Amino acid sequence: DAGVTQSPTHLIKTRGQQVTLRCSPKSGHDTVSWYQQALGQGPQFIFQYYEEEERQRGNFPDRFSGHQFPNYSSELNVNALLLGDSALYLCASSFGAGANVLTFGAGSRLTVL
């Protein structure tokens, strides 16, 4: 049973570029949440998708956007990249929004130069 899978594993971008990160939830899960984890810090909630809609959003600017597809997979898009966007981006899935029990993927490490 595959857990949460994320791609790409690592990527390097330059300031001002745009990036798309992808996530496939654990089998049986229908809700996807995205977190940003800066080096040496705890993860910070970006937003959550359920039934293809953004259900909750953390304190992140509109440059951060997402999408959920009918097969429950999700994308995180970040526009106009800043140096401060360099972080590990974690996808977490769960069954049913508000269930609290999250399964995290290994993350996508984004470096912005």
Q: Rank residues 17 and 111 by Cβ distance to other proteins and give the closer one.
A: 111
- Strand blocks (E) in the chain: 5-7, 10-13, 19-24, 31-37, 44-50, 53-57, 64-68, 74-78, 87-94, 103-104, 108-112
Shortest Å distance, C-beta 46 to other proteins: 10
Q: Rank residues 16 and 98 by Cβ distance to other proteins and give the closer one.
A: 98
Q: Is-contact 70 2, C-beta < 8 A?
A: no
Residues that bind other proteins (CB under 8 A): 4, 31, 33, 35, 40-45, 48, 56, 58, 90, 92, 94, 97-107
Shortest Å distance, C-beta 10 to other proteins: 10
Shortest Å distance, C-beta 13 to other proteins: 20
Q: Rank residues 16 and 106 by Cβ distance to other proteins and give the closer one.
A: 106
Q: Is-contact 25 13, C-beta < 8 A?
A: no
Map residue 18 onto helix, strand or coil. coil
